[in-house]
């Protein structure tokens, strides 16, 4: 832990699991560098402050109605948060600034999706640094949305799905980071503001590392007139995790009893939801593969269902202990376990990085936005996993699992991801790229007048 710097940073995470976790991890990293930390958070989806006694928390009332806060429509939730948070956030931040004479606030660090915070920072004359919790490669595609619209790639038609996006190889039209919505214009507007307000910021932090996304980072440095700091993977430095769901530790004892590298870990993150028909194909595909599996079925994963009630009668008993199902797993611990041989993922950025850091090859089944770009990079750029695409049924699932976990092809994929794991572990060494980038970030923050 470094000497205290007598400076405070205010961090404002987007209140979704895959965004709160990396922001809290970043907070731990910056705290270890000597900064004091204040977290402003919505009351919606708030983390438990007692887990972070070294931070100061302020909760703002964003006043979402019950219907608004329980919506499955992520796009409208994000757009609404960018409207409803403005006044309470500005009040909170200006009070903090006027109360901070003893320990001046150096800057605000906010999630890229909270684009309104740039205008608030300008008003209060406080520098704003952006944390982008996704990858750099997908952000490049987001930043090209106006171009992609102009070229006719967006919005796309069914008939275009398999066509290449020649300006972004190896992406196909179906990989463009959109979400299924009846209001594509509100998606374009959200993305446009996220990008333009990032360009207007005083710096950009990435949860990624140079060896993974070198060319995307170089292009961003070139195209964005703000300093760029790739200082990930954050969780290697600080494994903070916050979730309203309780991690079911029973799976570790179950994993302890399995053969090395034999288990397929299956989890689709905190937001994705799937249809019942797809869920059943997954269940049968897993059972037919004969491979042991640990499956996270989050309550609400299957649209309109409570939990596992739609599994066929006797399904679990017929597995004879070969499958273990939990509502939420200690994912970092699971991926690091000797018994895990592969990860069937929705290709969220955090899950992708966590898998890379443990050298666990992936089966990718992206649902929306940047997950689609991440999956294509995993399968065709880094070649550390296989993508389930072009049809989805139990036969195809069984075959894909075998390709990755039993056949020679899988061994090659595993060797490649083990190479990447090594690089990920080196970037936090003394002269590693993320350590150096972090030192530059600290100097950058200290250069702000406060």
| Binding residues for ligand UDP (CB under 6 A) | 17-18, 21, 241, 267, 269-271, 296, 328-329, 331-332, 348-351, 354
Are 446 and 7 in contact by the 8 Å Cβ rule? The answer is yes
Least spacing, CB of residue 228 vs ligand UDP, in Å: 21
Task: Give the residue at shortest CB distance from ligand UDP.
Answer: 18
Least spacing, CB of residue 130 vs ligand UDP, in Å: 17
Least spacing, CB of residue 299 vs ligand UDP, in Å: 12
> CA angle, 317 as apex, 290 and 247 as ends, to 5°?
85
Phi, psi of 143 (to 5 degrees): -70, -15
Phi, psi of 371 (to 5 degrees): -55, -35
Least spacing, CB of residue 22 vs ligand UDP, in Å: 8
Token pair in block for residue 227:
């300093």
Nearer to ligand UDP, 202 or 270 (CB): 270
Beta partners for 363?
A: 344, 386
Nearer to ligand UDP, 14 or 126 (CB): 14
Are 147 and 45 in contact by the 8 Å Cβ rule? The answer is no
DSSP H stretches of helix in 52-85: 66-69, 74-84
Least spacing, CB of residue 395 vs ligand UDP, in Å: 27
CA separation for the pair 280, 31 (Å, rounded): 45
Nearest partner of 404 among 254, 276, 236, 285, judged by Cα: 285
Residue ranges with strand state E in 198-304 = 204-206, 228-230, 263-267, 293-296
Nearer to ligand UDP, 13 or 127 (CB): 13
Phi, psi of 170 (to 5 degrees): -95, 30
Least spacing, CB of residue 81 vs ligand UDP, in Å: 15
Beta partners for 266?
A: 295, 344
CA separation for the pair 223, 43 (Å, rounded): 36
Nearer to ligand UDP, 17 or 208 (CB): 17
Least spacing, CB of residue 353 vs ligand UDP, in Å: 8
Least spacing, CB of residue 423 vs ligand UDP, in Å: 20
Least spacing, CB of residue 21 vs ligand UDP, in Å: 5
Phi, psi of 214 (to 5 degrees): -50, -50
Element (H, E) at 40: strand 36-42
Beta strand 293-296 with 263-267 is: parallel
Beta partners for 345?
A: 267, 364
Nearer to ligand UDP, 172 or 235 (CB): 235
CA separation for the pair 239, 103 (Å, rounded): 27
DSSP H stretches of helix in 145-249: 145-150, 184-199, 210-223, 234-237
Nearer to ligand UDP, 135 or 432 (CB): 135
Tokens 């997950």 sit on residue: 371
Element (H, E) at 95: helix 86-98
For residue 12, what is the DSSP state?
E
Least spacing, CB of residue 150 vs ligand UDP, in Å: 30
Nearer to ligand UDP, 96 or 340 (CB): 340
Least spacing, CB of residue 123 vs ligand UDP, in Å: 30
Nearer to ligand UDP, 192 or 368 (CB): 368
Nearer to ligand UDP, 75 or 165 (CB): 75
Nearer to ligand UDP, 289 or 347 (CB): 347
Are 15 and 89 in contact by the 8 Å Cβ rule? The answer is no
Token pair in block for residue 436:
């150096």
Nearer to ligand UDP, 354 or 389 (CB): 354
């Amino acid at each position: 832990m470094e000497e205290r710097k007598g400076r405070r940073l205010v961090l404002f995470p987007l209140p979704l699991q895959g965004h709160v976790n990396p922001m809290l991890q970043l907070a731990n990293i910056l705290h270890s560098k000597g900064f004091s930390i204040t977290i402003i958070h919505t009351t919606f989806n708030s983390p438990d402050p007692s887990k972070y006694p070294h931070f100061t928390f302020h909760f703002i009332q964003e006043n979402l109605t019950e219907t608004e806060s329980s919506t499955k429509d992520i796009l409208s939730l994000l757009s609404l948060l960018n409207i409803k948070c403005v006044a309470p956030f500005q009040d909170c931040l200006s009070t903090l600034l006027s109360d901070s004479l003893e320990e001046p606030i150096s800057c605000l660090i906010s999630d890229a999706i909270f684009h309104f915070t740039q205008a608030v920072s300008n008003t209060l004359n406080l520098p704003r640094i952006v944390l982008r919790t996704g990858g750099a490669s997908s952000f490049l595609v987001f930043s090209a949305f106006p171009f992609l619209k102009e070229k006719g790639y967006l919005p796309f038609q069914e008939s275009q799905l398999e066509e290449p996006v020649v300006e972004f190889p190896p992406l196909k039209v179906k990989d463009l980071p959109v979400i299924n919505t009846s209001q594509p214009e509100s998606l374009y507007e959200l993305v446009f503001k996220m990008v333009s307000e990032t360009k207007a910021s005083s710096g950009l932090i990435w949860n990624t590392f140079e060896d993974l996304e070198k060319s995307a980072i170089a292009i961003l440095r070139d195209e964005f007139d703000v300093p760029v700091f790739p200082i990930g993977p954050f969780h290697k430095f600080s494994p903070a995790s916050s979730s309203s769901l309780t991690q079911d530790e029973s799976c570790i004892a179950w994993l302890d009893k399995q053969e090395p590298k034999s288990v397929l870990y299956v989890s689709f993150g905190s937001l994705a939801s799937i249809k019942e028909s797809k869920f059943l194909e997954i269940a049968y595909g897993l059972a037919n593969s004969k491979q042991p599996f640990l499956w996270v079925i989050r309550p609400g994963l299957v649209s309109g269902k409570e939990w596992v009630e739609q599994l066929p009668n006797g399904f679990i008993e017929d597995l004879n202990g070969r499958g273990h199902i939990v509502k939420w797993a200690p994912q970092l611990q699971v991926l690091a376990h000797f018994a895990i041989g592969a990860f069937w993922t929705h290709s969220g950025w955090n899950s992708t990085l966590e898998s890379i850091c443990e050298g666990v090859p992936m089966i990718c089944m992206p649902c929306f936005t940047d997950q689609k770009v991440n999956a294509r990079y995993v399968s065709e750029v880094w070649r550390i996993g296989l993508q389930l695409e072009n049809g989805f049924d139990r036969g195809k699932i069984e075959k894909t699992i075998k390709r990755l976990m039993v056949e020679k092809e899988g061994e090659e994929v595993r060797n490649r991801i083990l190479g990447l794991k090594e690089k990920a572990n080196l970037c936090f060494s003394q002269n590693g790229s993320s350590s150096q980038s972090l030192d530059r970030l600290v100097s950058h923050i200290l250069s702000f007048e406060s």
